[in-house]
Copies of this chain bind each other. A is one copy, B any other.
Amino acid sequence: MTAAVFDFAPLLPAGLPAAAAKWTGLAKYSFVGGNNDPDQVPLEGLIDAVNAVLKREGRTLATYGLASGPQGYLPLRQFLTAKLKADAGIACTADEILIVSGSLQALDLVNATLLARGDTVIIERDSYQGSINRLTRLGVNIVGIPLDHEGMRMDALAEALADLKSRGITPKYIYTIPTVQNPTGTIMPVARRTELLRLAEQYGVPIFEDDCYADLIWDGQRPPAIHAMSKTGNVIHIGSFSKSIAPALRVGYIVAGWGVMSRMLSLKTDAGSGALEQMVLAEYCAPHFSTHVPKLTRGLRAKLETLMEALNEQFGTSAEFEDPKGGIFLWVKLPDQVDTLKLYQAALAAGVSINPGPEWSVDKAYAGSRLRLCFASPTHEEIREGIALLAEVCHREFGVPERSANIEKRGRA
């Protein structure tokens, strides 16, 4: 006799997200997710680092937080103070840095510290899916600001702030990805950062600066972080090692003044983020980060060029995009008749995964014929084959491109 299986469904509270589907592996041609280039993981350096650091101080793993306390491994925070000064112009101490389990935990901690249901936040109209989804789940009102080739538009931001003020609403923060914006790839120039700070101060709204792609700029030149330009400590800055070293490590960080840091720290009830990964990163990055990253970005730039060539060849003028100055993704506009949510389904069935635009924007109509393509993880060959297959599927489903360049090319061969 088999007993009936206990049913948890009646116990679930209202408002849970849908149940997860069983994982079925990555698509053959995967243009989604922040995955990086396997060949660019600095494996030998990481192995040397892990041996050195474990031999020297591995027994500290017996203590939660090692000997560094709840803000994370001190040598990693010390590396970050030097890196942030050199790369982003941020002058901060190790006490103003909190190591977290990837920048996703940073999003959760900032949100838990500042947001309640019914609050209002300002974000870029097209933005990181994980940020949009979190805000939606928290029941927060999202005001999306359009972007141009220099990032968030300040005229639109000024208008939104004035409009909110006229309705008695002070937004909890202005969230921006100013340096290699996700998904548009734009970099906000210094003048616009200055204007953003001016508006933020005028309206008494803090800025939440997500800089997790900022290391990946082709020419290595980035504007100072908005955090670095603030004179009032009104910027919470977050970053990550996922894009510069390896995403599976799950190590990110928050830079903030103690006033708000102390509130985030009291919400970080996980007894610390993974210590071994913090130790390896500190040991590896201190001597090698500044030489590793340019090598990584050269490889990424080459893959981007393959992607743009493949799009031009397969989609012709149907695919519109700007050549981004860095990053791991390309934001593509297809003709209006293409519904990228439907394209996503059809392409997935054919073995190609893409990010449909509406999942990366608060304006679902605007983004309806747009898509995000990540290019770091697939090989050059997979990029070419995957985009050819995507064009075939798109032609079949939407008549776009008008005639698949792929088919034409095969006809000529």
Distance (Å) between the CB of A373 and the closest chain B CB?
17
Query: Which one of A16-24, A285-293, A379-387, A392-400 is at the interface?
Result: A16-24
Distance (Å) between the CB of A253 and the closest chain B CB?
15
- Contact A250–B263 (Cβ < 8 Å): no
With beta carbons under 8 angstroms apart, the residue of B64, B102, B265 that contacts A271 is B102
With beta carbons under 8 angstroms apart, the residue of B11, B58, B130 that contacts A41 is B58
A169, CB-defined interface residue at 8 Å: no
Query: Which one of A160-168, A213-221, A254-262, A314-322 is at the interface?
Result: A254-262
A69, CB-defined interface residue at 8 Å: yes
**Chain A contact residues: helix, strand, loop or mixed:** loop
With beta carbons under 8 angstroms apart, the residue of B47, B62, B248 that contacts A60 is B248
- Decide: A58 near B47, CB < 8 A? Known: A104-B270, A172-B11: yes
Query: Which one of A2-10, A334-342, A347-355 is at the interface?
Result: A2-10
A210, CB-defined interface residue at 8 Å: no
- Contact A59–B46 (Cβ < 8 Å): no
- Contact A116–B60 (Cβ < 8 Å): no
- Contact B11–A206 (Cβ < 8 Å): yes
- Contact A248–B267 (Cβ < 8 Å): no
Task: Please name all residues of chain B whose beta carbon is closer than 8 Å to the beta carbon of A260 when the two chains form the complex.
Answer: 8
Task: Please name all residues of chain B whose beta carbon is closer than 8 Å to the beta carbon of A361 when the two chains form the complex.
Answer: none
A78, CB-defined interface residue at 8 Å: no
Task: Please name all residues of chain B whose beta carbon is closer than 8 Å to the beta carbon of A251 when the two chains form the complex.
Answer: 274
- Contact B130–A269 (Cβ < 8 Å): yes
Please report the C-alpha to C-alpha distance between residue A23 and residue B43 in the assembled complex, in whole angstroms. Answer: 34
- Contact B69–A259 (Cβ < 8 Å): no
In chain A, positions 28-45 with a C-beta closer than 8 Å to chain B are 33-41, 43
- Contact B54–A266 (Cβ < 8 Å): no
Distance (Å) between the CB of A293 and the closest chain B CB?
15
A273, CB-defined interface residue at 8 Å: yes
- Contact B51–A47 (Cβ < 8 Å): yes
**Range class of the A interface residue count:** 35 or more
- Contact A54–B61 (Cβ < 8 Å): no
- Decide: A377 near B62, CB < 8 A? Known: A101-B101, A130-B269: yes
- Contact A64–B33 (Cβ < 8 Å): yes
Please report the C-alpha to C-alpha distance between residue A4 and residue B273 in the assembled complex, in whole angstroms. Answer: 33
- Contact B270–A105 (Cβ < 8 Å): yes
Distance (Å) between the CB of A115 and the closest chain B CB?
7
Task: Please name all residues of chain B whose beta carbon is closer than 8 Å to the beta carbon of A3 when the two chains form the complex.
Answer: 231-232
List 11 contacting pairs A-B, 8 Å CB cutoff, sorted by A: A8-B113, A11-B172, A41-B61, A43-B58, A60-B248, A101-B274, A108-B269, A133-B269, A248-B272, A248-B274, A250-B270
Knowing that A5-B232, A6-B230, A277-B277 touch, tell me 19 more A-B residue pairs with CB under 8 angstroms. A3-B232, A5-B257, A8-B260, A13-B115, A17-B267, A19-B265, A22-B95, A23-B69, A35-B63, A41-B59, A41-B61, A41-B62, A43-B59, A61-B248, A62-B246, A64-B248, A101-B274, A250-B274, A250-B275
